[in-house]
Each structure stands twice: as structure tokens, then as C-alpha cells.
């Protein structure tokens, strides 16, 4: 978590809030990506942040070209409009209008300019000369067709954004104006996952089988359940990049540490236990991701059974938790005890909020249970696959006489149970997101997959989040989010336990790799397009 | 023989029908379907889920779903993967040869190791070699395949870095073949020993044939009957073991495909893989039965 302090420094030094406010709405929009990691962001005022060539550090003389970069991912589909969860692979093949940089801020990427006079109108001007892998130059018409396709595809990634795009006007070869049916300021951060592909990609009318896009690598072959082979795109618009000739993405399940150690892949996410097994002389170095995922204990909010609908019982459970012990068990030094959805010290985080559950207070917990008349509690706790942490939570609850009934099952079974709301407590985590809007939306009455947070249905919360989305002023938006968070803590929908940053193990053969604030393999300021294979 | 074959066919068909019903029902009993999977990923709303189920025919009564599936199956249409949107046949085209490669290699390793060890252990019963072979065979059978796989992975790939940790058919087939070799040694040893005590062997020795010739020409062929049966069963275990081994070694075969499909509630893929594996098992054992019937007339006598 050490990066978060420096991120905050970056905020105050780099752009400055006033400068962003002077920049109008765009500055505010530029902050959206900062939510998770403690930075703020640079605001999208012009194209400067997104360099069009390789960075100075990788000057032509110093660059080592060629070779095969070996990665691991479990890709669901080669149709990037259809994937249904965060997937690092599309970024290797397809670029996006904006991008989340290494500090978590939203930057123009394919865009030369982005104008947003309000949170409902977005004019996107793309850089000229960006070519698809088939050699054709991309135009604003192509962007329009991509959004239309997403809108027409059930379950498509970013469909919610396409659905609220009520009108699209192409006003030049490279400019398109999107008019939204409702104000939505997270738009610019979220289009960092709008993978743009050529309409002539085979399968465009149903399922794309060979994506033709503008990214650093071209799609060569996909062997489902095995691997994907990509080749360097020589006409990539960021001149000079990428440096490796080929990328092989292996479809590896389970723990990928053995594959990393054996040299089958060049980098992998390694957990705390696996890190201990990797010898210092193995040639593997570690980098922490710049964004965090968060862990929490949720109550069933949609159909709470007595006495778990009693705030005193919820508080008692909160006082029984030993967050520091849970964090140590799961993360060690890559996690930090927390009490908010936004990462500690990030822009949307507040130091004004005092965590009542920062340390366990068993006496107070028992008092509250007595006051509520709650005895011999046996809360039903669904557990997905790995019970290590829920078992620790159960042991902590046992100290106040609460016996958790852990019901272990696989992911989908657990999720199905969660959505049936026949449970009392759920201990879970949620990953990094390109914008904090994607976290707040989950606790809305009609949010996607709200089961993890017990499906709250609270009109005040919904209203405040929508007001945050409509706010173009970052400070105002931050305050609205914090007000919404107060609803969560007042009613104890969920109790945040910790934030953690994933660790990536990188083999010595790889140079120039820098983990970012999003899971993408290729990013605006690091990742696969910058990677070089050492001698 | 033809009469015997024809009489066995209905049994074969019945096995496949029961397997199809069982697979179909079991999969539907597991909580969650593809709409839930997509909802979990945040890709679709609650309202969309109903429509997805309708599009995929998952809202129809189970019996109708089953009949529709079987009618497609008999036409050779396995359907499309819910997850990758690819035809299941395309997924099979990549995965099935991989599993076949693994199974054939494992079987070959099992035979190469198991046949000589079992034969010689039986021939030299009570010797040091026999004890060593028996101990080895017991170890091969007793150590669970997944444990041996993980151990081999850590030693040969991670520690020694001799072989890749993923996609290595050598390591995967060695581990899978070990179990077969162990079983073969145990079976052959007993059968060879039993044959060596038979009268015709004594006669062969009395006729002046060398011990090696007696073993090769008379004992071994007569000992192979039960061994062929064991191999038939081992083929079934190979398919089951492949599921585990393919997962451990990230070998992109049918087992690995099925595990992913179960995880994603990708019904068409799971159903197709289970049916193909069942059919393979049934056909192999049917072939073994026929072989047995051909070599031993008593078997085909009503």
C-alpha cells in the first residue's frame, strides 16, 4: 500500500484541483479513475498525457526487440464486446478511447480530445491515422458501429453505457458526440474498457471469431482451453511499440506460481503463501498493483432475518471482528485494515470517518447482544470455495457466542444462494475497478449482482449515488459518494475489513514491465507494449 | 460371434441412454445456470436472466429440454458453448486429440513398464526382484494420481526445471501411466504365477523347452486374458484420471475442458464431454468383451 501516499502527492503536485476545475467538466471526469488507489488524476484536458511514442527510457538504441512474451489468462471469448468480467487479454489487441494510467487516473488514449460540457454530452475526437490491423484507418463511424453493436448485444461489456447513449452524431472523420439519456460522469473512465474493433472483423454480426482492432498486437490464433497467439502489429499508432514479436497467452487454471517458477510464463499474480515459497535467488521480482481490492463482511439487507435486522446485533458482530488479524492472515504487508469502500488515502476516501470497529471490543459486543436479547445465534454464512478467512471470522464470532454456519460451495452455487437471500452474513472481496462508480453501483437497488452486499434497497443511497454521477465537480461528486457511504455505515449494510494490493511476480527475462492500476496486460504507460525480453 | 455381438448392442445402447439421462439430470440439479454465471460477472441484469434462459431453452420443462438435447445429439449437433459461443464440435476438435494423445501415451508407458515387471515378478516369485517389483507396484497404485502429479510437478518442473510445468504431455502421461503399470504388475504377477503351476507348463518343461521359451510362448499368452480385461477397465480409469491430471498439468484436453465447463455451467459442453467419455468407455469395454469372447468360447456360450 506504500504507493498510496505518493499517489496523493502526485495529486497535489501534478495538476491541482483548481486547474481541473478551471478545465471545466473534463477535469472532474478525469478524477474518476483515481478512486481506487489514492491518486487523483489528471483530468482530461488535452492529449498530452498519452504519449504517441514509446517513452524516452526506451529509446531506439536501448530497446531490445523480438522474442515471445508468455502470459496467462483465462479468456472467455475472442469477441471483446461479449466478455462478462474483467479480462486482461483484450488490451493486447484492442485499444480504447481513454485509459487508466499507472496512478489510476483517466487519460486520453486513442482520443486526441474529449469535451464534456456536462455529464450528459461527450464529444470524442480521435487521433488521426490510427489504423486497424487490416490496414484501414479507423474513423468515428467505426466507433459508432461499435457502440451500436454493444447496445444490440445481450450481456455485452459496457452495455449499460451503450443503453443510456440516446444519440450519436458523427461530425467529422474522427469526431463523434454521444448524448446520454441521463448524466453519467463515470463515462470517461468506463470507456477505458470500450474495446474498439473493425466492423469487418469476421463474425461481427454474431460472434467475432477474429478480432481486428488497433492494439499493439494482432490476433493470430486462439485454441480454446489452451492458448492464444498474438503477433506484433507493425503499424501500431504508438510508433516503435511493441517490442516483442509474439505474445502467447496460456489458459492456466488454479495456482500459476509453478508455471512462473518453471519459466512457462513470464509473470503471474502470486498470493502471500506462494511468495514465501519463491526463493530470493529465483530471479523473480515482485511488484504490487497500484489499485486495491477490498474485503468486507456483509449482512443480508434485502431479506434480513431477525435478529440480524437489529442494528445492535450488526454492531456486535462488527465489534467481534479482529480486522488486523484477518488482514495479517490474508495479506501481510500487502494489505491494510480499512473501513471504507474507497482505498485508504485515495481521493474518495475520507479521514473524517472514524472506524468504530478498528479494534475488537468483545465486552461491548456482548453488551449489545444482551441489549438486543440475541442469544445462541447461528448465522448462515455462504462460503465460496476457500474457507480459510471465513473460518477465522467464525472463530472470532465464536468468542461472543455466535456460531457461524459456514456453507461451502463453488462460486456459482454460492452466488445463486446469495441471490436467493437465504443467509445472514457473507464474507467476501471485490476486485479493482476502473472507476469507483463500479463499486457504488453494486449496492444500488437495481445494481448488478448485489448479492455480495446483501442487496440493499435504499432510496437515499440510490439518490445520492445518482447525484454523484450527475456531478461534474469532483469535490461535489466526492461528497455525494461519502454521503452515500454514510448511509451504508449508519445502517451497517456491510463492514469493510481491509484493502489489499495484488502482487505480480515477474521473471528476470522481462524488462520494462510495470504493473498498473488496472488488470490490463497492455496499458497506456506500461505492460505488454513496453515489455522487452532480456538477452 | 455375431449373435453374441448383436445381443450385447442393446445393453450398450441402454448404458448410453441411462448415462445421458443421469448427466442431464445431475447437471440441472446443480445450483445456478449460465444466466446466473453472467449475472455474477455483472454482465446481465436480473431482468436479462429470464430472457437468456428463454433464448437457451432453459425455461422449458426438463423432459422437453432432454428430448430436444437428445434429438440434436443423434443428429450430431452438440450445440454451442454458452461461454465461448463456439460450436461444441470446435472445442472437441482441439481437446479430444489432446486427451487421446495423453491416454495413448499413458497406456503405452503402463504397458512398457507393467508387462515385463509383472511377467518377471511372477516368474521369479519370492526373489528380491519380485519383492522390489511388488513394492513398486503397490506404491504406484497406493499413491493417489493427483498427489503424484503435484509432486512430479514440483520436483521436475519447479525444482529441477527439466520439463515445463504446463502443457507437458511427458510428465502428465508418466504420472497417469504409473497407475496402469502398477495395476498390470499386480495382475500379471498373479496370473503368470498361476499359469506356471499348471500341468501343461510342466509338460513343456519336460519336453525340453527353455524356461524363457515356456514363459514367452505358453505362459504369457495364457496370462493375458485377465490382463486384457484389466486394460479395458484401465482405459476407463484413464479418462477419469485424465480429468485430474489435465487440470494439474494444464493439459488442454477433454478433462480440462469439462472442469471449466462445469465451473461455468456451460451445459452443452459438459453434456457433450460426459457423453463422449461414456461412449468411449462403453465402446472400449465392449471391444474388450468381444476380444474376450473371441479368445474364450465359454464367454459367448449362453
Q: Are residues A7 and A346 in contact, defined by beta-carbon separation less than 8 angstroms?
A: yes
Whether B43 sits inside 8 A of A410 (CB atoms) is: no
Q: What confidence tier does A313 reach under pLDDT thresholds 50, 70, 90?
A: very high
Q: What is the pLDDT of residue A318?
A: 98
Whether B263 sits inside 8 A of A409 (CB atoms) is: no
Q: Within a domain: residue B26? A: no
> Which 3 state secondary structure label does DSSP give A188?
helix
Mutate to test the interface with A, among B26, B28, B30, B31 (most CBs of A within 10 A): B31
Contacts of B245 in chain A (CB under 8 A): none
Count other C-beta atoms under 10 Å from residue A62's C-beta.
11
Closest partner residue to B94 among A225, A442, A448, by Cβ?
A: A225
- Closest by CA position to B90, among listed A218, A203, A179, A456: A203
CA torsion B277-B282-B285-B289 (nearest 10°) is -170
Chains A, B: CB pairs < 8 Å: 130
Q: What is the mean pLDDT of residues A374-390?
A: 90
> Which 3 state secondary structure label does DSSP give A374?
coil
Mutate to test the interface with A, among B36, B42, B261 (most CBs of A within 10 A): B42
A449 at B interface, C-beta within 8 A: yes
Cell of B287: 471391444
Whether B38 sits inside 8 A of A155 (CB atoms) is: yes
pLDDT, tens only, A384-428: 877 789 999 999 999 999 999 999 988 778 888 888 899 999 999
What CATH number should be reported for the domain holding residue B150? Answer: 1.10.3720.10
Q: What are phi and psi of A175, to 5 degrees?
A: -120, 135
pLDDT, tens only, B96-150: 899 989 999 999 999 999 989 998 998 888 899 999 999 999 998 888 888 898 8
Cell of A309: 435486522
- Interface confidence, given as ipTM, is 0.73
Distance from CA of A76 to the nearest CA of B (A): 6
A279 at B interface, C-beta within 8 A: no
> Which 3 state secondary structure label does DSSP give A306?
coil
> Per-residue pLDDT for B48 more than 80?
no
Whether A250 sits inside 8 A of B250 (CB atoms) is: yes
A239 at B interface, C-beta within 8 A: no
The total number of structural domains that make up chain B: 1
Average pLDDT over chain A, rounded to an integer: 85
Longest Cα separation, chain A:
74
Q: Within a domain: residue B190? A: yes
Q: How many helices (H) and strands (E) does chain A have?
A: 17, 23
Distance from CA of A292 to the nearest CA of B (A): 19
Distance from CA of B36 to the nearest CA of A (A): 7
A151 at B interface, C-beta within 8 A: no
Which domain, by its residues, includes B218?
Answer: 97-295
Q: Cα–Cα distance between A311 and A201 in angstroms, integer?
A: 55
The nearest alpha carbon in chain A to B94 belongs to A223
Q: Within a domain: residue B72? A: no
pLDDT, tens only, A69-84: 999 987 767 888 886 5
Q: Are residues A312 and A369 in contact, defined by beta-carbon separation less than 8 angstroms?
A: yes
A255 at B interface, C-beta within 8 A: no
Q: Within a domain: residue B212? A: yes
A415 at B interface, C-beta within 8 A: yes
pLDDT, tens only, A206-231: 888 899 999 999 999 988 888 899 99
pLDDT, tens only, B152-207: 988 998 888 888 888 888 999 999 999 889 988 998 898 888 888 888 888 888 88
pLDDT, tens only, A286-311: 998 888 999 999 999 999 999 999 99
A459 at B interface, C-beta within 8 A: no
Q: What is the pLDDT of residue A3?
A: 29
Average pLDDT over chain B, rounded to an integer: 84
Q: What confidence tier does A496 reach under pLDDT thresholds 50, 70, 90?
A: very high
Closest partner residue to B256 among A157, A225, A264, by Cβ?
A: A225
Distance from CA of A261 to the nearest CA of B (A): 6
Whether B263 sits inside 8 A of A449 (CB atoms) is: no
pLDDT, tens only, A79-119: 888 865 667 889 999 999 999 988 888 999 999 999 999 89
Contacts of B242 in chain A (CB under 8 A): none
Q: What is the pLDDT of residue A131?
A: 98
Cα radius of gyration (chain B):
24
Q: Within a domain: residue B82? A: no
A223 at B interface, C-beta within 8 A: yes
Q: Cα–Cα distance between A496 and A256 in angstroms, integer?
A: 29
Whether A258 sits inside 8 A of B45 (CB atoms) is: no
Torsion sign, CA atoms A189, A193, A199, A205: negative
Q: Assign residue A271 a region (left: φ > 0; alpha: ψ between -120 and 50; beta: otherwise).
A: beta
A445 at B interface, C-beta within 8 A: no
Distance from CA of A325 to the nearest CA of B (A): 29
What percentage of chain A has pLDDT greater than the value 90? 59
Closest partner residue to B44 among A154, A264, A419, by Cβ?
A: A154
Cell of A458: 435504499
Closest partner residue to A250 among B158, B166, B259, by Cβ?
A: B166
Q: Within a domain: residue B32? A: no
The nearest alpha carbon in chain A to B29 belongs to A413
Q: Cα–Cα distance between B226 and B230 in angstroms, integer?
A: 6
Whether A262 sits inside 8 A of B158 (CB atoms) is: yes
Q: Within a domain: residue B84? A: no
Q: Within a domain: residue B215? A: yes
Q: Cα–Cα distance between A226 and A264 in angstroms, integer?
A: 13
Count other C-beta atoms under 10 Å from residue B219's C-beta.
25
Closest partner residue to B52 among A77, A154, A448, by Cβ?
A: A154
Reported pTM:
0.78
Contacts of B42 in chain A (CB under 8 A): 84-85, 442, 448-449
A416 at B interface, C-beta within 8 A: yes
Cell of B137: 507396484
Distance from CA of A287 to the nearest CA of B (A): 21
Contacts of A448 in chain B (CB under 8 A): 39, 42-45
Closest partner residue to A253 among B48, B167, B247, by Cβ?
A: B247
Count other C-beta atoms under 10 Å from residue A362's C-beta.
14
> Per-residue pLDDT for A41 more than 50?
no
A409 at B interface, C-beta within 8 A: yes
Amino acid at each position: 500500500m506504500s504507493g498510496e501516499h505518493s499517489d496523493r502527492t502526485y495529486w497535489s503536485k501534478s495538476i491541482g484541483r483548481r486547474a481541473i476545475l478551471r478545465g471545466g467538466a473534463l477535469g472532474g471526469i478525469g478524477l474518476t479513475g483515481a478512486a481506487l488507489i489514492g491518486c487523483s488524476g489528471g483530468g482530461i484536458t488535452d492529449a498530452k498525457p498519452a504519449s504517441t511514442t514509446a517513452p524516452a527510457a526506451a529509446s531506439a538504441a536501448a530497446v531490445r526487440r523480438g522474442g515471445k512474451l508468455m502470459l496467462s489468462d483465462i479468456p472467455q471469448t475472442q469477441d471483446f464486446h461479449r466478455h462478462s468480467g474483467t479480462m486482461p487479454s483484450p488490451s493486447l489487441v484492442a485499444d480504447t478511447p481513454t485509459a487508466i494510467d499507472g496512478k489510476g487516473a483517466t487519460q486520453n488514449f486513442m482520443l486526441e480530445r474529449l469535451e464534456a460540457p456536462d455529464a450528459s454530452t461527450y464529444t470524442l475526437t480521435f487521433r488521426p491515422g490510427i489504423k486497424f490491423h487490416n490496414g484501414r484507418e479507423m474513423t468515428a463511424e467505426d466507433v459508432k458501429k461499435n457502440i451500436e453493436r454493444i447496445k444490440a448485444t445481450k450481456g455485452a461489456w459496457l452495455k449499460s453505457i451503450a443503453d443510456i447513449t440516446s444519440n450519436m452524431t458523427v461530425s467529422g472523420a474522427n469526431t463523434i458526440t454521444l448524448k446520454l439519456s441521463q448524466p453519467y460522469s463515470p463515462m470517461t473512465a468506463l470507456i477505458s474498457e470500450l474495446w474498439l474493433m473493425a466492423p469487418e472483423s469476421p463474425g461481427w454480426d454474431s460472434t467475432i471469431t477474429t478480432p481486428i482492432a488497433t492494439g499493439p498486437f494482432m490476433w493470430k490464433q486462439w485454441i480454446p482451453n489452451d492458448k492464444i497467439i498474438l503477433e506484433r502489429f507493425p503499424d501500431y499508432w504508438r510508433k516503435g511499440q511493441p517490442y516483442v514479436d509474439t505474445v502467447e497467452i496460456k489458459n492456466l487454471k488454479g495456482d500459476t506460481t509453478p508455471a512462473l517458477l518453471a519459466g512457462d510464463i513470464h509473470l503471474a499474480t502470486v498470493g502471500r503463501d506462494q511468495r514465501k515459497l519463491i526463493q530470493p535467488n529465483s530471479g523473480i521480482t515482485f511488484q504490487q498493483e497500484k489499485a486495491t481490492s477490498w474485503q468486507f463482511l456483509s449482512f443480508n439487507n434485502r431479506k434480513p432475518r431477525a435478529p440480524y435486522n437489529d442494528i445492535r446485533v450488526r454492531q456486535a458482530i462488527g465489534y467481534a471482528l479482529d480486522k488486523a488479524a484477518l488482514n495479517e492472515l490474508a495479506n501481510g504487508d500487502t494489505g491494510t485494515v480499512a473501513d471504507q469502500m474507497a482505498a485508504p488515502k485515495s481521493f474518495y476516501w475520507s479521514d473524517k470517518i472514524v472506524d468504530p470497529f478498528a479494534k475488537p471490543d468483545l465486552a461491548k459486543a456482548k453488551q449489545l447482544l444482551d441489549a438486543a436479547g440475541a442469544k445462541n445465534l447461528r448465522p448462515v454464512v455462504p462460503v465460496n470455495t476457500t474457507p480459510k478467512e471465513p473460518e477465522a471470522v467464525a472463530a472470532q464470532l465464536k468468542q461472543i457466542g455466535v456460531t457461524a454456519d459456514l456453507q461451502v460451495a463453488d462460486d456459482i452455487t454460492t452466488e445463486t444462494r446469495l441471490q436467493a437471500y437465504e443467509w445472514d452474513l457473507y464474507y467476501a472481496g471485490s476486485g479493482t475497478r476502473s472507476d469507483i462508480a463500479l463499486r457504488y453501483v453494486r449496492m444500488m437497488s437495481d445494481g448488478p449482482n448485489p448479492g455480495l452486499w446483501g442487496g440493499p434497497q435504499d432510496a437515499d443511497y440510490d439518490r445520492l449515488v445518482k447525484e454523484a454521477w450527475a456531478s461534474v465537480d469532483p469535490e461535489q461528486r466526492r461528497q455525494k459518494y461519502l454521503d452515500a457511504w454514510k448511509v451504508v455505515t449508519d445502517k451497517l449494510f456491510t463492514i469493510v475489513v481491509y484493502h489489499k494490493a495484488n502482487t505480480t511476480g515477474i521473471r528476470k527475462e522481462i524488462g520494462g514491465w510495470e504493473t498498473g492500476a488496472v488488470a490490463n496486460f497492455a496499458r497506456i504507460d506500461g505492460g505488454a507494449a513496453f515489455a522487452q525480453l532480456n538477452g | 460371434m455375431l449373435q453374441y455381438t448383436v445381443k450385447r448392442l442393446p445393453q450398450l445402447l441402454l448404458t448410453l441412454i441411462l448415462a445421458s439421462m443421469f448427466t442431464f439430470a445431475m447437471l440441472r440439479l446443480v445450483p445456478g445456470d449460465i444466466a446466473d454465471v453472467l449475472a455474477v460477472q455483472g454482465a446481465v441484469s436480473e431482468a436479462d436472466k429470464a430472457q437468456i434462459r428463454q433464448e437457451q431453452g432453459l425455461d422449458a420443462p426438463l423432459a422437453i429440454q432432454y428430448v430436444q438435447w437428445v434429438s440434436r445429439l443423434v443428429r450430431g449437433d452438440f450445440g454451442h458453448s454458452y461461454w465461448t459461443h463456439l460450436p461444441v464440435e470446435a472445442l472437441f476438435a482441439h481437446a479430444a486429440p489432446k486427451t487421446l494423445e495423453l491416454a495413448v501415451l499413458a497406456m503405452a508407458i503402463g504397458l512398457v513398464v507393467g508387462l515385463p515387471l509383472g511377467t518377471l515378478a511372477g516368474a521369479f516369485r519370492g526373489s528380491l526382484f519380485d519383492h522390489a517389483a511388488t513394492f513398486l507396484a503397490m506404491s504406484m497404485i497406493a499413491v493417489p494420481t493427483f498427489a503424484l502429479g503435484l509432486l512430479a510437478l514440483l520436483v521436475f518442473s519447479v525444482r529441477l526445471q527439466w520439463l515445463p510445468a504446463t502443457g507437458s504431455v511427458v510428465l502428465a502421461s508418466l504420472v497417469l501411466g504409473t497407475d496402469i503399470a502398477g495395476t498390470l504388475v499386480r495382475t500379471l504377477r498373479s496370473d503368470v504365477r498361476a499359469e506356471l503351476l499348471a500341468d501343461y507348463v510342466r509338460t513343456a518343461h519336460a519336453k525340453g523347452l527353455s524356461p524363457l521359451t515356456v514363459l514367452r510362448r505358453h505362459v504369457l499368452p495364457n496370462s493375458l486374458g485377465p490382463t486384457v480385461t484389466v486394460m479395458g477397465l484401465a482405459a476407463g480409469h484413464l479418462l477419469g484420471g485424465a480429468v485430474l491430471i489435465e487440470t494439474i498439468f494444464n493439459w488442454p484436453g477433454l478433462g480440462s475442458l469439462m472442469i471449466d465447463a462445469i465451473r461455468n455451467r456451460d451445459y452443452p459442453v459438459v453434456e457433450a464431454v460426459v457423453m463422449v467419455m461414456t461412449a468411449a468407455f462403453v465402446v472400449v469395454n465392449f471391444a474388450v468383451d468381444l476380444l474376450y469372447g473371441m479368445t474364450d468360447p465359454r464367454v459367448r456360450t449362453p
